[in-house]
Amino acid sequence: GINAEYGIRVMLDPIILLSEKLNIHPLHLFIEVGLFVFIFYLVSQKSYKPHKNEALTEEEIDQLVSEWSPAPLVPYLEPQKLKQTDHTNIVASSPDPVIVVNGKECINLATQNFLGMSKNEEVLKVARETISKYGLGTCGPRGFYGTIDTHMDLEKRIAKFMGTEECILYSAAFATPSSLIPAFSSRGDLIYCDAGINFSIQLGITLSKSDVKVFKHNDLKHLETLLEQTRQEDIKSRRKLNRRFVVVEGLYTDHGDIVPLKELMVLKEKYKFRIIMDDSLGIGILGKTGRGTCEHLGVSVSTIHNEGRN
């Protein structure tokens, strides 16, 4: 024990003396010396050089192939169990309000064909004429295949029907909000969105990378509270104003109620924001001539960025 203690003192005495001369705590000096020794050890080691890849022989390749067994993409099920788990519902009719599922008539709660237009004789006639001229689809979306004359004609007719300057068609209903919202709002802008908006609009808002504030569904008092808070923050910080949008639906997909558009227009004039409204379900359903929520509530469509996904 005495020899061990003597050996430790012999090792530490030089460190203690050096630390006193350099005016450094002995523990600090001991750690630095240890790190220096460790770094010197790493540098002095030989660098690792990977072996050059040598080509496999034909026998080695055959052996590897014979030993390899791919894992199944899905677990194997016995035929009897497969029959027990097969509960596929087969629809055997057109997507009308009432459809035939597994041989039984059922109310179709998943359709947007509320008015049964898929069976309208005029619609069927035009569909037959279009198929005879263009075939069954262009075999590609508009952005890939190109614009055809029916696109242009339909855009003009929709714009005239809705009383707008222009209209643009998208290849898919779900893609409309995810393309339209980022086109208007981007990073640094501010979006106030209703808590009841559908998922496709939520996705569009996320892709815009804008700042987002959510107000309670159809609760304009809560919206005004958020707007007023933002205005007070602007006054205090004197920050540069950004673009601001309120995103709503005309006739809500997930709730079935209508946005209080007239009251929202009052807030628009007071707090100076733009309205983006998805009126997919309102157009063709609401209003004397089916022009949607704006016509139903007596609001000019030119004051709103209006979109439809049907």
Q: Are 251 and 262 in contact (CB under 8 A)?
A: no
pLDDT of residue 170: 85
Task: Enter the tokens of residue 49.
Answer: 């050089």
Cα–Cα distances in angstroms (integers) from residue 246 to residues 150, 167, 190, 243, 307, in the given order: 33, 21, 9, 11, 14
119 CB-near residues (< 8 Å, 6+ apart): 94, 96
Residues in the chain: 310
H runs (alpha helix) in the chain = 2-22, 26-44, 58-67, 79-85, 121-134, 142-145, 149-162, 175-184, 199-208, 220-237, 261-271, 293-297
Q: Between residues 145 and 187, which one has the greater pLDDT?
A: 187
Q: Are 67 and 59 in contact (CB under 8 A)?
A: no
What is the mean pLDDT of the segment spanning 162-173?
A: 86
Range 46-74 burial, b when 16+ CB lie within 10 A, else e: eeeeeeeeeeeeeeeeeeeeeeeeeeeee
55-92: pLDDT as tens digits? 888 888 888 888 888 888 877 777 776 666 657 788 99
DSSP secondary structure of 175-207: HHHHHHHHHH--TT-EEEEETT--HHHHHHHHH
Q: Between residues 46 and 244, which one has the greater pLDDT?
A: 244
With a pLDDT cut of 70, the percent of the chain lying above it is 86
Mean pLDDT of the chain: 85
pLDDT of residue 10: 55
Burial class (CB in 10 A: 0-12, 13-18, 19+), 107: exposed
What is the mean pLDDT of the segment spanning 155-175?
A: 89
Q: Are 172 and 305 in contact (CB under 8 A)?
A: no
The CA distance from 224 to 102, in Å, is 50
DSSP lists the bridge partners of residue 190 as 211, 244
DSSP lists the bridge partners of residue 106 as 99
pLDDT of residue 8: 52
Residue 140: pLDDT band (50, 70, 90) is confident
Q: Are 288 and 262 in contact (CB under 8 A)?
A: no
Phi (first) and psi of residue 107, to 5 degrees: -75, 130
pLDDT of residue 15: 65
Task: Enter the tokens of residue 120.
Answer: 């309208």
Q: Is 226's pLDDT higher than 90? A: yes
What is the mean pLDDT of the segment spanning 228-232?
A: 93
Report the chain's C-alpha Rg in angstroms: 35
pLDDT of residue 28: 76
**Smallest Cα–Cα separation from 296: which of 265, 269, 258?**
258
171-192: pLDDT as tens digits? 778 889 989 999 999 999 999 9
pLDDT of residue 197: 95
The CA distance from 287 to 267, in Å, is 23
What is the mean pLDDT of the segment spanning 215-221?
A: 96
Instruction: Give the predicted TM-score (pTM) of the model.
Output: 0.67
